Homo-oligomer: A and B are copies of this chain.
Amino acid sequence: MTGQVRTVDGRVAGRRGQATRQKLLDCLSEMLSTSPYRDVKVIDVARMAGTSPATFYQYFPDVEGAVLELADEMAKEGAGLTELVAGRSWVGKSGAAAADELVDGFLSFWRKNDAILRVIDLGAAEGDKRFSRIRTKILTAVTGSLTESIKELQGKGRVDKDVSAPAIAGSLVTMLAGVAAHQKGFTGSGVKQADLKPNLALLVHLGVTGKKPPK
C-alpha cells in the first residue's frame, strides 16, 4: 500500500535515515505537547533530536508536513476504537455499559494523543483538506459503528425513523472530542471531575436509544 519512506528530494531512506526521521517525529511530538503550536520551530525540534535543521528539511517539507505524518501514525492506532462500539447491544443494562465504555475509551484515547489531535482539529477547522481527511478517518472509526448501531435500533422500531443516524452519531462523537479537549475548562467552572463521565455516558445513551438507561 504505502510506498517506501522517501526523502523530500526523492531518495529512498535506509535504516539509519528512517531512524533519524522517526527521532525527529518523536521530538516534534514532545515539542507539541510542551509548547504552543505557533511556537514550535524547526530548529528546536532539530536541536532536541541532536541534528540540524537541514536534516529536518530532508524528510519533511515543513512543520505541517511532519505533523501530518504523526497524525497518520495515530490514525492507524485509532482504528482500534471501532471495537468500543461494534457488535454492542444497546438494550437494557448492557446499553448502559456500552455507553460507559465508549465514553471511557474515547476520552483516554483523546487524552493520550491530545497534543496532535488539537493541531489536527485546528487544521481541519481552518479548512485544510489534508487535516480534515485524517480527522474524519479517526472519528469514522467510532461514528461509523455508532451510526450502524442506531440504524439497527431503527430497524427494530426502537428508535424513530426520522432521526438521521449519522447526524446523531457525528454530533455525539464531536461532543466527546470537545469535552476531552477542554476537560480542564470544565473542572474550572463548577463541574466535578467525577461527574463528567457518567453524565456524558447518560447523554450518549439518550442520544443513541432515545431513552434513559435503566438504574
Contact = CB atoms under 8 A, between A and B. Distances in A.
Interface of A: 36-38, 63-64, 114, 118, 121-128, 132, 135-136, 139-140, 143, 160, 163-164, 166-168, 170-172, 174-175, 177-179, 181-182, 184-186, 188-192, 195-196, 199-200, 202-203, 206-207, 210, 212
A125 B206 contact: no
Identify the interface centre among A63, A122, A125, A202: most chain B CB within 10 Å of its CB: A125
Residue in A124, A143, A160, A185 with the greatest tally of chain B CB atoms within 10 Å = A185
A129 to B, nearest CB: 9
A172 B186 CA distance: 12
Given A37-B38, A126-B36, A127-B184, A189 B170 contact: yes
Given A177-B178, A185-B124, A212-B210, A168 B132 contact: no
Contacts of A207: 203, 206
Contacts of A163: 199, 202
The 5 closest A-B pairs by CB, nearest first: A175-B175, A178-B178, A174-B178, A164-B195, A167-B199
B175 A196 contact: no
A117 to B, nearest CB: 9
A127 B85 CA distance: 31
- A interface majority secondary structure: helix
B167 A136 contact: no
Nearest to A118: B125
Contacts of A175: 171-172, 174-175, 178
A37 B118 contact: no
Contact of A167 (B168, B174, B186): B186
B118 A122 contact: yes
Given A36-B123, A139-B185, 20 more contacts: A37-B37, A37-B122, A114-B125, A118-B125, A121-B121, A124-B182, A124-B185, A125-B181, A132-B188, A163-B199, A163-B202, A164-B192, A166-B190, A167-B191, A167-B196, A167-B199, A170-B186, A174-B178, A203-B207, A206-B210
